Amino acid sequence: MIDLQLMALLLIPLFGGGMLAVFGSRSWAAELNSLMSGLTFLASVALTMRVIDSGPQVVFGEQFFIDQFNVFLVALTAFVAFTTSLFSRPYMRIEQHHGKLSTGMLHLYYSMYQMFTFTMLVALTTNNMGIIWVAMEAATLTTVLLVSLYRTPSSLEAAWKYFILCGVGIALALFGTILLYFAAERVLGEGGTALLWTHLNQVKGELEPTVLKLAFIFLLVGYGTKIGLVPLHSWLPDAHAEGPTPVSAVLSGLLLNVALCAVMRSKVLVDGSLKTHFAGNLMMGFGLLSVVVAALFLSRQKDIKRMFAYSSIEHMGLITFAFGMGGPVANFAGMLHMTMHSLTKSAIFFAVGHAAQKAGTQQMERIRGLLQVSPTVGWGLALGTFAILGMPPFGVFASEFLIITTAMHEYPWTTPILLAALGIAFAAIFGKIQPIVFGETTAKPLPHPPALIPVFVHLLLVLILGLYMPPYLANWYRQAAALLG
């Protein structure tokens, strides 16, 4: 049964990518894109239900592996991909209307959107550490042309930076994978099984610690480039700022998570082999550095998408830090924060996209008084900002609170640093968003209110999860957290 659901989950976006590669320039391509993403989401729901009922399983000759941890990311990915496709339908049409995009570019966008979903889902569900790498690289390849979709000099520069930096980063991850295989080969013998995560997990105690240590450094640096950890982050703000807004939303909300998932898979193996907190310490270090540096950079931003890109670095740093601390509570908090961040950040990008589209610029100084122009966009952005800044009663508050209390308990010295960074980030973002939303403007109100249902759906979910966590969900997260050790 489960293989059927998994097959549906993977084949629908692949099929959708193929269909859109052919029919991408038809007038109904956007609807087809949403339909395919919707079907993928349904498949992911079915898969999730199965896995929570019957526990982790391997499928298709052990090439795929589903447990509570990755199915949580699968569900999140499919959901955000679906809502983003809904958002992009009107958004991209308006862009085309403004003459910023041609039909050919939209064609490329739709087919690559589905392929991108496919590669992320493969990276999440595969059991083979080598295939994770292949899928991550493929995810870069599918998005790189999307970042340069507008063909402006700055978007080309951003895409080139993204391509080169992530290409180099991911190459280092491949070296880490090779080292992992090198260590595994001595225990599991040559052949296909030596890269299968489930097999590696069984023998992780026997893997050579010196090799795994080096392998993890390479894997963390490699996939860390994708996560956007400081100092490997410099591609991230550019790519987010210069690409089309739906692409920024999925990059920020999803791709970063997928890369982190790959790191966590490696961390479990390394912990088992080394029996020390080496991997955790490394992740905590990178995470803390990312939080601090991103917070300091936030106040210097002028471009609104760029600023929220830095906020993504900050939050990914926080999640990496939480996973680095390890233990059931910190892992639980990390996963919760992952969920909250994905939902909130994509909602913010949707709102920002509309705001920037209406203002005709991404420069924050020139976007003013959103509430007067369009109350929906204004409130969407305001609420999203409140949520991402960790204001109660939104869910981000709950997860950040959990992370910080755990840190206070386990590593007290990190608490003041984290609090200070979060405070700086709060001041920076709030100070910049406040005039944008509430300021005075001379622009005329829009005749029609924009469709921003995805924004409010996301924010509503974040709000509900902040107020009340259903026991079913809490139980699921707890199981997943336990898997991460």
Partner 1 sequence: MTIPLSLQFINLLAALLLLIAFAMLAQRRILSLINLFAWQGAVLALSTFVVAYTTSQHHLYYSAALTLLLKVMVLPWLLHRLIHRLNVRWDVETLLNIPTTMLAGLALVIFAFNLAAPISQLAQGITRGLIGIALASVMLSLLMMLTRRKAVSQVVAFLSLENGLFFAATSATQGMPLVVELGIALDVLVATFIFGIFFFQIRETFESLDITHMEKLKDD
Q: Is 164 in the site for partner 1 (CB under 8 A)?
A: yes
State how far the Cα of 262 lies from the Cα of 251, in Å rounded to an integer.
16
How many residues are there in the chain? 485
Which residue number, 313 or 373, has a Cβ lying nearer to partner 1? Answer: 313
The amino acid present at 120, given as its one-letter code, is M
Q: Is 363 in the site for partner 1 (CB under 8 A)?
A: no
Residues 287-316 that bind partner 1 (CB under 8 A): 297, 300-301
Shortest Cβ 205–partner 1 spacing (Å): 17
Which residue number, 194 or 436, has a Cβ lying nearer to partner 1? Answer: 194
Among 38, 90, 167, 393, binds partner 1 (CB under 8 A): 167
Judging by beta carbons within 10 Å of its beta carbon (0-12, 13-18, 19+), is residue 448 exposed, middle or buried?
exposed
Please name the helix (run of DSSP H) or strand (run of DSSP E) that holds residue 356, with its range, or none.
helix 327-359
Among 106, 159, 330, 377, binds partner 1 (CB under 8 A): 159
Q: Is 102 in the site for partner 1 (CB under 8 A)?
A: no
Among 185, 366, 445, 468, binds partner 1 (CB under 8 A): 185
Near partner 1 by CB under 8 A, which window of 188-196, 312-320, 385-393, 406-414?
188-196
> How far is CA 328 from each of CA 370, 483, 485, rounded to the nearest angstrom?
42, 9, 7
Q: Is 214 in the site for partner 1 (CB under 8 A)?
A: yes
Among 98, 151, 366, 409, binds partner 1 (CB under 8 A): 151
Shortest Cβ 348–partner 1 spacing (Å): 20
Near partner 1 by CB under 8 A, which window of 168-176, 224-232, 393-401, 425-433?
168-176
Contact 78, 43 (CB under 8 A): yes
Residues 103-132 that bind partner 1 (CB under 8 A): 128, 130-131
CB 104: neighbour CB atoms within 10 A?
Answer: 10
Listed residue (466, 267, 240) closest to 353, CA to CA: 240
Listed residue (241, 216, 84, 219) closest to 162, CA to CA: 241
Q: Is 152 in the site for partner 1 (CB under 8 A)?
A: yes
Which residue number, 2 or 134, has a Cβ lying nearer to partner 1? Answer: 134
Q: Is 134 in the site for partner 1 (CB under 8 A)?
A: yes
Q: Is 153 in the site for partner 1 (CB under 8 A)?
A: yes
Which residue number, 51 or 132, has a Cβ lying nearer to partner 1? Answer: 132
Ordered DSSP codes for 121-145:
HHHHHB-BHHHHHHHHHHHHHHHHH
Q: Is 178 in the site for partner 1 (CB under 8 A)?
A: yes
Q: Return the CA Rg of the chain.
A: 21
Near partner 1 by CB under 8 A, which window of 135-143, 331-339, 344-352, 396-404?
135-143
Taking the CA atoms of 77, 82, 86 and 88 in sequence, report the sign of the dihedral they define.
positive
Near partner 1 by CB under 8 A, which window of 187-195, 255-263, 336-344, 468-476?
187-195
The number of angstroms, rounded, from the C-alpha of 439 to the middle of its chain's C-alpha atoms is 31
Tokens of 57: 């399983």
CA-angle at 13, arms to 242 and 74, nearest 5° = 80
Contact 207, 200 (CB under 8 A): yes
Q: Is 211 in the site for partner 1 (CB under 8 A)?
A: yes
| Binding map of partner 1 across residues 249-288, x = CB under 8 A, - = no contact | ----------------------------------------
Near partner 1 by CB under 8 A, which window of 46-54, 183-191, 256-264, 425-433?
183-191
* DSSP-based helix, strand, coil % in the chain, nearest 5: 80, 0, 15
CB 446: neighbour CB atoms within 10 A?
Answer: 15
Please name the helix (run of DSSP H) or strand (run of DSSP E) that holds residue 481, with its range, or none.
helix 471-483
Judging by beta carbons within 10 Å of its beta carbon (0-12, 13-18, 19+), is residue 246 exposed, middle or buried?
buried
Residues 217-246 that bind partner 1 (CB under 8 A): 237-238, 241-242
Q: Is 157 in the site for partner 1 (CB under 8 A)?
A: yes
Residues that bind partner 1 (CB under 8 A): 128, 130-131, 133-134, 137-138, 141, 144-145, 148, 151-154, 156-161, 163-164, 167-168, 171-172, 174-175, 178-179, 181-182, 185-186, 190-192, 194-195, 208, 210-211, 214, 237-238, 241-242, 297, 300-301
